[in-house]
């Protein structure tokens, strides 16, 4: 364990909530500074020694994390007003006091733990997979052009972290907008040579209530995505494809 | 109607016919700059000489405006603006698009009441509209309301044109969206300047043709 630099302190103001229904409150914590510490390591320290800034013993702060290298998305929370991954939030690069809140666009389970089910439901809704299951071997699928593979790979980096939904002014309790991430996933799976065979089903899912029409072009998503996914390009491209599909359906049915 | 189609219709109506009508309105007003009271009178006369003018008005102005305005208000109140957290241009424009939409709602309601409905009620004739506007915009409060509103509506239409091109998948990539943003903002300057210019011209003495005593006093007050 690294040595605590005795004098330097780091202050955290954490928004807490005991259970899904109870009101939220803030609690302050003061920790000794360690070089290279990040928000997760700070939370771990609070867990080891759950004493708040007032010196009172308190319940340890709950959070979620897995990979600790910004690839799983589990540790997403609002840090100094910006939704991002706590494991990649270095204390040295944050203004103090460091304010930590849960991403309240999602239902809060406890403290910083949120329930991101709506994102997984959205992925199911748009059929963000490639159906190849059957009773016999279908053999190898068609090949993908290298150029296409390169941009599709960028889209495949999405870790369903929820940051883009938290940043979007149209994802809230007054709308049923599915948010940017699943729209971009439709573009990804519709670009795949095998996935393409079910392209229309996914487009139609985007044309259901709460689908792509919910976007109002604030473009916060593309500026917040930790993976640098070109979300607004995906949304505009899906706008184009759903519009084309709409005319095609009118003219051919 | 499913959300997708109702939103597409809302988007379309913002350009066709409402956007085109706004540009037409701008040109009519600008005839006051170019041709003075005479020019404006002729422009108004020309529009009203169109065949089936009432049917055209209902089909291409009233109904689209009602739909776009009502649905637009619904959309505007669904937003949870977060400009304090995400301070960049596009997010600001997003909020301004909604704010200017609401300004447009109040302004257009009031403006239609003051002009088109007063014509229907027989309180003013088409020929008298130039002086009628003069009497309104020479009152400082009304003038300021008009000034803010025409700039707001110009913004709403031109920024709306930018988002229309995204909503219909015309401008897809970031470069295309940036270029269209420059073009739309250029258009904003042109539309806002032309409306504002006409407003100033309506304040001029040549549109006066004998205002009331009170208005005369007001005019000397604001110079
Ligand atoms: C009467 C009151 C009005 C209200 C409340 C209103 C409201 C709105 C709102 C909230 C939006 C954003 C929709 C979105 O982002 O998807 C919008 C878009 C738009 N509005 Fe309006 N509006 C009004 C009048 C007008 C007028 C008079 C025009 C035309 C001159 C106009 C043209 C547009 C255009 C072109 C768009 C962009 C459509 C798109 O993004 O696809 N609006 N309006
Ligand atoms: S698109 Fe980006 S911000 Fe949105 S869920 Fe995926 S990784 Fe997170
Ligand atoms: S723990 Fe996986 S992204 Fe932070």
C-alpha–C-alpha distance, residues A243 and B117, integer Å: 38
On chain A, the residues whose CB falls within 8 A of the CB of B168 are 239-240, 243
Long-range CB contacts (< 8 A, 24+ apart) of A49-57? A52/A27, A52/A28, A53/A11, A53/A28, A53/A29, A54/A28
Instruction: Specify the 3-state DSSP secondary structure of A58.
Output: coil
Residue B124 DSSP one-character state: S
Provide the mean pLDDT of chain A: 96
C-alpha–C-alpha distance, residues A197 and A207, integer Å: 18
Rounded to an integer, the average pLDDT of A48-61 is 97
pLDDT band at residue B212 using 50, 70 and 90 as cut-offs: very low
C-alpha–C-alpha distance, residues A31 and A8, integer Å: 9
* Fold of the domain built from segment(s) A117-252: Fumarate Reductase Iron-sulfur Protein; Chain B, domain 2 (1.10.1060)
CATH classification for the domain delimited by A5-114, as one of 3.10.20.30, 3.30.300.30, 3.40.50.150, 3.40.50.300: 3.10.20.30
- Is A188 close to ligand 2, i.e. is its CB under 6 Å away? no
Give me the residue label for tokens 């200017």: B100
Q: Which two tokens stand for residue A128?
A: 């963000």
* Phi, psi for B31 (deg, rounded to 5): -65, -20
Is residue A194 over pLDDT 60? yes
Classify the C-alpha dihedral A236-A242-A243-A248 as positive or negative.
positive
Q: Which two tokens stand for residue A238?
A: 């899906």
pLDDT digits (tens, 9 = 90+) for A197-236: 999 999 999 999 999 999 999 999 999 999 999 999 999 9
Asked if the C-beta of A190 comes within 8 angstroms of chain B's C-beta atoms, the answer is no
Is residue B211 over pLDDT 50? no
Instruction: For residue B127, give the nearest of B40, B25, B27 by alpha carbon.
Output: B40
CB–CB of A236 and B88 under 8 A? no
On chain A, the residues whose CB falls within 8 A of the CB of B77 are 174
**CATH number for B151:** 1.20.1300.10
Give the minimum alpha-carbon distance from A145 to chain B in angstroms, rounded to a whole number.
20
How is chain A split into domains, by residue range?
5-114, 117-252
| Residue-level pLDDT at A133 | 86
pLDDT digits (tens, 9 = 90+) for A107-155: 999 999 999 999 999 999 999 999 988 899 888 889 999 999 999 999 9
- Measured in whole angstroms, the distance separating CA B6 from the mean position of its chain's CA atoms is 23
Rounded to an integer, the average pLDDT of B105-119 is 97
Q: Which two tokens stand for residue A248?
A: 């095609």
pLDDT digits (tens, 9 = 90+) for A65-111: 999 999 999 999 999 999 999 999 999 999 999 999 999 999 999 99
pLDDT digits (tens, 9 = 90+) for B22-81: 999 999 999 999 999 999 999 999 999 999 999 999 999 999 999 999 999 999 999 999
pLDDT band at residue B210 using 50, 70 and 90 as cut-offs: very low
CB atoms within 10 A of CB A135: 4
Domain encompassing residue B42? 3-222
Is residue B214 over pLDDT 50? no
- Measured in Å, residue A239 CA sits from the centre of ligand 2 at 19
H-type alpha helices, chain A: 39-48, 117-125, 146-156, 163-167, 180-191, 199-206, 220-224, 231-252
Domain total of chain B: 1
């Amino acid at each position: 364990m690294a040595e605590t630099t005795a004098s330097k302190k780091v202050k955290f103001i954490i928004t807490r909530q005991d259970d899904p229904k109870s009101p939220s409150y803030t609690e302050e914590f003061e920790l000794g500074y360690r070089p290279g510490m990040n928000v997760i390591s700070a939370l771990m320290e609070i867990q080891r020694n759950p004493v708040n800034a007032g010196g009172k013993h308190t319940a340890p702060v709950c959070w979620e994390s897995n990979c600790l290298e910004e690839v799983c998305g589990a540790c997403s929370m609002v840090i100094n007003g910006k939704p991002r991954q706590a494991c990649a939030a270095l204390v040295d690069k944050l203004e103090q006091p460091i304010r930590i809140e849960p991403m309240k666009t999602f239902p809060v389970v406890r403290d910083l733990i949120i329930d991101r089910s709506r994102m997984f439901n959205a992925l199911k809704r748009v059929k963000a997979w490639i159906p190849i299951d059957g009773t016999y071997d279908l053999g190898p699928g068609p090949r993908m052009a290298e150029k296409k593979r390169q941009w599709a790979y960028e889209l495949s980096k999405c870790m369903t972290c929820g940051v883009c939904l938290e940043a979007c002014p149209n994802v809230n309790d007054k709308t049923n907008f599915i948010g940017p991430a699943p729209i971009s996933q439709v573009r990804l799976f519709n670009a795949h040579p095998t996935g393409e065979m079910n392209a229309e089903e996914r487009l139609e899912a985007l044309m259901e209530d709460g689908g792509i029409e919910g976007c109002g072009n604030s473009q916060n998503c593309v500026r917040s995505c930790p993976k640098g996914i070109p979300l607004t390009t995906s949304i505009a491209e899906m706008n184009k494809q759903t519009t084309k599909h709409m005319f095609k359906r009118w003219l051919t049915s | 109607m499913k959300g997708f189609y109702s939103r597409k219709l809302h988007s379309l109506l913002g350009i066709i016919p409402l956007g085109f009508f706004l540009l037409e309105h701008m040109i009519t007003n600008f005839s006051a700059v170019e041709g003075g009271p005479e020019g404006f009178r002729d422009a108004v006369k020309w529009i009203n000489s169109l065949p089936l003018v009432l049917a055209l008005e209902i089909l291409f102005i009233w109904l689209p405006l009602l739909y776009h305005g009502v649905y637009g208000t619904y959309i505007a109140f669904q937003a949870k603006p977060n400009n304090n957290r995400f301070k960049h241009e596009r997010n600001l424009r997003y909020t301004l698009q909604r704010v200017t939409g609401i300004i447009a709602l109040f302004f257009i309601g009031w403006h239609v009441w003051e002009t088109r409905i007063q014509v229907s009620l027989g309180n003013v004739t088409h020929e008298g509209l130039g002086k009628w506007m003069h009497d309104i915009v020479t009152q400082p409060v009304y003038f300021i309301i008009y000034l803010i509103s025409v700039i707001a509506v110009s913004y709403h239409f031109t920024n709306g044109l930018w988002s229309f091109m995204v909503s219909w998948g015309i401008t897809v990539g970031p470069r295309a969206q940036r270029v269209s943003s420059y073009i739309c903002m250029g258009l904003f300057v042109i539309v806002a300047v032309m409306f504002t210019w006409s407003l100033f011209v309506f304040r001029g003495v040549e549109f006066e043709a004998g205002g009331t005593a009170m208005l005369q006093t007001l005019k000397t007050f604001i110079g």
